Amino acid sequence: MHIEMKGITKYFGAVKALENVNFTINSHEIHGLMGENGAGKSTLMNILGGAIQPTEGEIYINGDLIEKMTISLATENGIRFIHQELNLVNDLKVYENLYLGEELTNKIGILDKKQMIENSKDVLEKLKLDIDPSMPVSELETSRKQLVEIAKALLFESELIIMDEPTTALTNTEIEILFNIMRKLRDEGISIIFISHKMPELFSICDKYTVLRDGLFIESGNFKDIDEHIATSLLVGDRVIDTEWIKEDKREEVILSARSLTCAGFFNDVSFDLHKGEVLAITGLHGDGRSELSEALFGARHLTSGKIFLKGNELKLTNIGSVMKSGIGMIPRNRKERSIIKDLSVVNNFSVAYFVAKHKKAFINDKKEIKRFNRSRQIIDIKTDDPNNYITSLSGGNQQKVIVSRWLELDSDVYIMDNPTQGIDVGTKFEIYRLINELSQRGKSLIIFSAEFPEIHRIADRCFVMYKGHINAELNRDQLTERNVMYYATGSNTEGINGKIS
Question: Whole-number minimum distance, CB 280 to ligand ATP, in Å?
Answer: 28
37 binds ligand ATP (CB under 6 A): yes
Is 328 strand, coil or helix? strand
Contact pattern from residue 63 through residue 92 relative to Mg ion, giving x for each residue in contact according to CB under 5 A and a dash for the rest = ---------------------x--------
CA–CA separation, 197 and 313 (whole Å): 41
Range 49-88, binding ligand ATP (CB under 6 A): 84
Cα of 415 vs its chain's centroid, Å: 19
CA–CA separation, 490 and 13 (whole Å): 51
Which region among 38-46, 179-187, 245-253, 427-435 touches Mg ion (by CB under 5 A)?
Answer: 38-46
Is 281 strand, coil or helix? strand
Question: Whole-number minimum distance, CB 493 to ligand ATP, in Å?
Answer: 38
- Between vectors from CA 448 to CA 442 and to CA 451, what angle results, nearest 5°? 150
Query: Running DSSP on this structure, what letter comes out for residue 315?
Result: P
396 binds Mg ion (CB under 5 A): yes
CA–CA separation, 439 and 415 (whole Å): 9
42 binds Mg ion (CB under 5 A): yes
Burial 371-385 (b: 16+ CB within 10 A, else e): ebbeebbeebebbbe
| CB of 213 or CB of 311, closer to ligand ATP | 213
Which region among 39-47, 251-259, 349-357, 475-483 touches ligand ATP (by CB under 6 A)?
Answer: 39-47
213 binds ligand ATP (CB under 6 A): no
| CB of 396 or CB of 469, closer to ligand ATP | 396
Residues linked to residue 234 through DSSP beta bridges, in sequence order: none
Number of shown-chain residues binding ligand ATP (CB under 6 A): 20
CA–CA separation, 445 and 439 (whole Å): 8
- Between vectors from CA 362 to CA 360 and to CA 364, what angle results, nearest 5°? 90
| CB of 168 or CB of 472, closer to Mg ion | 168
CA–CA separation, 132 and 23 (whole Å): 39
| CB of 115 or CB of 392, closer to Mg ion | 392
175 binds, among Mg ion, ligand ATP, none (CB under 5 to 8 A by kind): none
387 binds ligand ATP (CB under 6 A): no
Is 318 strand, coil or helix? coil
On the CB side of 28, how many CA atoms lie within 13 Å of its CA? 1
Question: Whole-number minimum distance, CB 437 to Mg ion, in Å?
Answer: 27
Angle between helices 366-377 and 346-357 (to 10 degrees): 100
329 binds ligand ATP (CB under 6 A): no
User: Which stretches of 298-392 are DSSP H helices?
Assistant: 320-326, 335-338, 346-357, 366-377
Question: Whole-number minimum distance, CB 384 to ligand ATP, in Å?
Answer: 6
404 binds, among ligand ATP, Mg ion, none (CB under 5 to 8 A by kind): none
Distances (CA, A) of 374 to 38, 377, 428: 18, 5, 18
25 binds, among Mg ion, ligand ATP, none (CB under 5 to 8 A by kind): none
| CB of 84 or CB of 351, closer to Mg ion | 84
Answer for which of 29, 32, 38, 448 binds ligand ATP (CB under 6 A) is 38
The sheet that has 305-310: what strands, in order across it? 267-275, 254-263, 305-310, 313-314
Which region among 185-193, 395-403, 407-415, 470-478 touches ligand ATP (by CB under 6 A)?
Answer: 395-403
| Interacting residue ranges for Mg ion, rule: CB under 5 A | 42, 84, 395-396
| Interacting residue ranges for ligand ATP, rule: CB under 6 A | 12, 15, 17, 35, 37-43, 84, 383-384, 393-398
